[in-house]
Amino acid sequence: MTTSQARQRLVIGNWKMNGSLADNVELLEALRAGADVSADVAVCVPFPYLAQAQALLETSKVSWGAQDVSVHASGAYTGEVSTAMLSDFNCRWVLVGHSERRSYHGESSELVAQKAQAALQAGLVPVVCIGETLQEQEAGETADVIAAQLKPVLALGPQAVAKMVIAYEPVWAIGTGRTATPEQAQEVHALIRAALRELGAEQVQVLYGGSVKAANAASLFAMPDIDGALVGGASLVAEEFLRIAAA
């Protein structure tokens, strides 16, 4: 058995700032009914919908989580949400360091590592997002950018990193319709895997994100170091998302 076969396939939907109480019912019930696939399936929903996700999914094969979390346990941090609050809704996952948080909210890689650590201490699984911009890619800086973003996370040590998930999302492919070819994605995943291997955490799942669709999922998942996907827009369409999970 190869190491890629030993790692469980994982497909996580990131709804971003989408959804409504009415629309979510149809989507979540369709996922609940259709998630009889070999992959682990999860959705990361906006904070207001965590209770709804918990209510509709808790007896299903689909797990749920949040799209961000605070490094602070409690206090005067208006608009922030703590790990304890996420645990109140039985969240399993939390995204940290998504490129939209890094670019729109100025989150540093050091802060992302602190969020990952806070999540782990609360028993949550942090999904650490990393990826380069188009400018960085065209300048041949992908490897350096990925290494710099990973550095503070890997500094938490092998025992911590072993409980995380890494998601490689080239910024130039998020919501743009442009997707890295399977070979391009594999090249970066191999770099990430080498860094994990050096740390002693080779079995960490590494997901690909960036305009993943049912049409390209199977070719991406065929790559030896791609263990699944972090899916954006396609996760809002139950049939498409389930086809990706089944790929």
Return the active site residues: 98, 169
Q: Is 211 annotated as a binding residue?
A: yes
Cβ contact 44:12 at 8 Å:
yes
H-helix or E-strand containing 219? helix 214-221
* 3-class DSSP assignment, residue 247: coil
Distance from C-alpha of 218 to C-alpha of 233, rounded to nearest angstrom? 18
Distances (CA, A) of 82 to 52, 88, 98, 117, 171: 18, 10, 17, 13, 27
Q: Is 233 labeled as ligand-binding?
A: yes
Is 15 marked as a binding-site residue? Answer: yes
Please give the C-alpha separations between residue 17 and each of 14, 49, 53, 56, 233, in angstroms, as whole numbers. 9, 11, 15, 19, 11
Residue 232 labeled ligand binder: yes
Phi (first) and psi of residue 58, to 5 degrees: -65, -20
Question: Does the annotation place 140 within a ligand binding site?
Answer: no
Q: Residue 23: enclosing H or E segment and its boundaries? A: helix 21-34
| Sequence ranges of the binding site | 14-16, 175, 211, 232-233
| Sequence ranges of the binding site for substrate | 14-16, 175, 211, 232-233
